[in-house]
Amino acid sequence: MKKNEIFFNIAILVAIIIAIVMVKVKFFSGENPNARAIQDIEKLSVFDLKEKPVKFTSLLSKEDESFVLVFTVYDCHTCILKGLEQLKSLKKEGKQAIGLVVSDDVADIALWAQNYEPTNLHVIKKVDFYTHIKAQQLPVMFTIDDNEVTRIQTITTEL
Amino acid sequence: MKRIGIISIFFLLAISLLAQKVQLERVDQWKLDHNPIAFIGNTYISKDNSIIGLFRDVWGVEITKKEIKQFAGYGEAPNEVILPTILFSYGDDIAIAELVGRVKIFTKKENSYTFKKSIWLKKGELPLSPRSGVFCDGKLFVAGVHFLKYTKGNYYSSLITVFDEKGKQVKTLLEKDLTLDKQYHEFLVFIVKLKNDRLAFLQENEPIVTLISPKSMNVVKQVPLQLPSFYKKMPGDFYSKKSTVKFGDSAYYLKMLETFRTGYSRINNLYFDQDRLILQMRTCDKKLKRYAILVYNADTFKLEHTLYTDDYLVGVKDGKFYCFANGNPGWDGDIDDVVFNIYKIKK
């Protein structure tokens, strides 16, 4: 075997080892890929419909998963209704289910909410939404466990 | 017998000549220094004789002889609107309905309109496409296709939805099954308040007035309108998906929409003034001007005047016809000048 060939084989072997390590780190390190969807969750503050500020984490279940539907009133109407229905059935199952409306006008959202069945609705100001929440599309349902997003489900009109 | 025939022919000729003589006479003109307007939506004349309107790109505006004052821009702030669909008079205030189901009320304070309150309409799960509105007897009458229930192959729908002042749905009127093959959101319908506590409803393609009692919220009667000879009826398949959608050709939809809106005697608007029901439609006749304003007696619904103009009617008050010069921008080509002509009937 020529010297060049030995060097080439070793280089390929090293490249394969590096690739395996990278894949392992990415997929098997135990890091939750959805965790970054809500950043600095402890610092996040929202408002109830009476415009009283509430610490977001105080709304979440301490023992079980919580479900948070994030949307604006301008999103696809059918999708919002679908999301609210999901919240209702989760609540029936005994889960903590919260609706989080992105808006700077809490009073307006309180008016809007009167047209729907009572849900655990809160308002997140736009600046806080853009600072803390990373969502590609709204409405979105976050499953949160132990203050960490574990699942992201975009709500669409598709069944 | 022959003599009677000849006399009656002369009599009819004399009447038609007299009828032709009745035309519009310009009594004022407002030339405004403003960027070209893209499209004119709902408009009416306020008690201060200003034009209140929903214009694309400038949105909620009050127009006087001197200026165009914007009172509702585009956005999410209280004094802004998002996806506005219709504008109508709410007593002395102005209402603008948004596609999301919110109606924003603007009131006049110190010479300009400012945001007063919002009403969220409880419209249900299926879409409502508002096209015109009236506030009467403490209720909002919203005219436009409203899907109420989906049944296999059809949408059970209404053409008028009545809401109370808190936005609660009180009643639906003119209900019928609609097939799924049409672009119903494009469909124009009009509702205006007449005297004697009556509302008049009209569809762009059907010259039949439906009279409604605002108190009982019931249809009182339907009256077919007398039509001028130029009237060119819209075809049955207008706005149908089959005739407007061509796979891979997105411009085709707009082209066909323009065909349906400009190629037939489509009714553009409906107003009530001085016991007269007034509507404007296209003549679609090269020998005539672009539009005809038809003036009907609001008691007998007899056609009293057919007035021809190239201008687009934006409101009628005290016998004065307020028009945007040279048509509605968007459908009638680019119109750079922002000029309003005010006419009276010349006898």
Looking up tokens 């201060």 gives B48
As a whole-number percent, the residues of chain B with pLDDT over 70 amount to 94
Q: Can you say how many angstroms the Cα of residue A99 is from the centroid of all Cα atoms in its chain?
A: 12
Q: What is the pLDDT of residue B276?
A: 97
Determine which of B105, B125, B161 to mutate to test the interface with A (most A C-beta atoms within 10 Å): B125
Number of compact structural domains in chain A: 2
Q: What is the mean pLDDT of chain B?
A: 90
Alpha carbon of B179: minimum distance to chain A alpha carbons (Å): 20
Same domain for A101 and A144, yes or no, is yes
Burial B112-143 (b: 16+ CB within 10 A, else e): ebebbebbbbbbbebbbbbbbbbbbeebbbbb
What does the pLDDT look like over B219-258, one tens digit per residue?
999 999 999 999 999 888 888 888 788 888 888 888 888 8
- Mean pLDDT along residues B128-146: 96
- Mean pLDDT along residues B86-108: 96
Q: What is the pLDDT of residue B9?
A: 52
Same domain for A49 and A127, yes or no, is yes
Q: What is the pLDDT of residue B245?
A: 82
pTM above 0.90, yes or no: no
> Rounded CA gap, B118 and B102, in Å?
7
Q: Which of residues 44-73 of A touch B (CB under 8 A)?
A: 73
A104 touches chain B (CB under 8 A): yes
What does the pLDDT look like over B268-298, one tens digit per residue?
999 999 999 999 999 999 999 999 999 999 9
Size of interface A-B (CB pairs under 8 A): 32
- A159 within some domain: no
- A53 within some domain: yes
Alpha carbon of B106: minimum distance to chain A alpha carbons (Å): 15
B167 touches chain A (CB under 8 A): yes
Domain of A92, in residue numbers: 35-154
Residue by residue, DSSP assigns B90-105 as ETTEEEEEETTSEEEE
Alpha carbon of B76: minimum distance to chain A alpha carbons (Å): 9
Same domain for A26 and A72, yes or no, is no
Instruction: Tell me: pLDDT of B8 over 50.
Output: yes
Instruction: Report the residue from B118, B121, B125 with minimal CB separation from A108.
Output: B118
Q: Which of residues 61-120 of B touch A (CB under 8 A)?
A: 76, 78, 82-83, 100-102, 118-120
Q: What is the pLDDT of residue B150?
A: 87
Same domain for A21 and A48, yes or no, is no
Same domain for A92 and A52, yes or no, is yes
